Chain A
Amino acid sequence: SQQGEEDPQALSIQEGENATMNCSYKTSINNLQWYRQNSGRGLVHLILIRSNEREKHSGRLRVTLDTSKKSSSLLITASRAADTASYFCANAGGTSYGKLTFGQGTILTVHP
């Protein structure tokens, strides 16, 4: 399997529900980042969790990191229709120059 795989590949929920997306990676990391991409647009950084952190919050976002399982999860609480987008995890590992290795992404649809 490829590094940085998210599951599920697609998630459809109602407004107000929570959305959880998971990401697995293969190599060691300096940090793991989550990005959002609206259809046909650029990537927007959401949150960064360092390898020595286990959990991080930012507004309605909660990210966890389990380095023993090489996995991370992104939780969006109280989702809104505007959260509809693709969500990618990206592994910033290896060199200090910061190459990001992206996963396949989760397509989230929030129905009003």
Chain B
Amino acid sequence: EPEVTQTPSHQVTQMGQEVILRCVPISNHLYFYWYRQILGQKVEFLVSFYNNEISEKSEIFDDQFSVERPDGSNFTLKIRSTKLEDSAMYFCASSPQGASYNEQFFGPGTRLTVL
């Protein structure tokens, strides 16, 4: 069964460093998402991506964040200058249509630790 994959599973970085989190969505899906979950808290929406552009973003998704679909299969989240409060589990998700109509398929997550 097709699934969303994410790499790395765990990333440790120093404050101020740039990180790139990678995701491979399910191949025929059209909508892509990033969410994050700070330890012990609820899952929060960061950004949605459709037709090669950001369709919606949250207040969390400020200028330090960017997303890209560089080659038609990968979907990346870049954090330009990490802060301690960026430490969280980051989940990628994809959907054949927007989740207004369909479920989203989530990857296993990347645990980001900022020291």
Question: For residue A97, which residues in chain B have a CB less than 8 angstroms away from its CB?
Answer: 31, 48, 50, 55-56, 98, 100
On whether the beta carbons of A96 and B43 are closer than 8 Å, the reply is: no
Residues in chain A near residue B106, CB distance under 8 A: 35, 42-45
Chain B residue, CB-CB nearest to A103: B42
Tell me whether B43 and A99 are in contact (CB under 8 A). Answer: no
Q: How far is the CB of A104 from chain B (nearest CB, A)?
A: 5
Residue from B41, B98, B103 within 8 A of A48 (CB atoms): B103
Q: Do A41 and B108 touch across chains, with their CB atoms under 8 A apart?
A: yes
Asked whether, in the complex, the Cβ of B33 is within 8 Å of the Cβ of A88, the reply is: no
Q: Which of A30, A96, A101, A104 contacts B45 (CB 8 A)?
A: A101
Q: Is B109 an interface residue (CB 8 A)?
A: yes
The 10 closest A-B pairs by CB, nearest first: A98-B99, A98-B98, A30-B100, A45-B103, A97-B55, A102-B43, A43-B106, A42-B108, A92-B99, A42-B106
10 additional A-B residue pairs with CB within 8 Å, beyond A90-B43, A95-B100, A97-B55: A45-B106, A95-B55, A95-B98, A96-B98, A97-B48, A97-B100, A100-B43, A101-B45, A102-B35, A104-B42
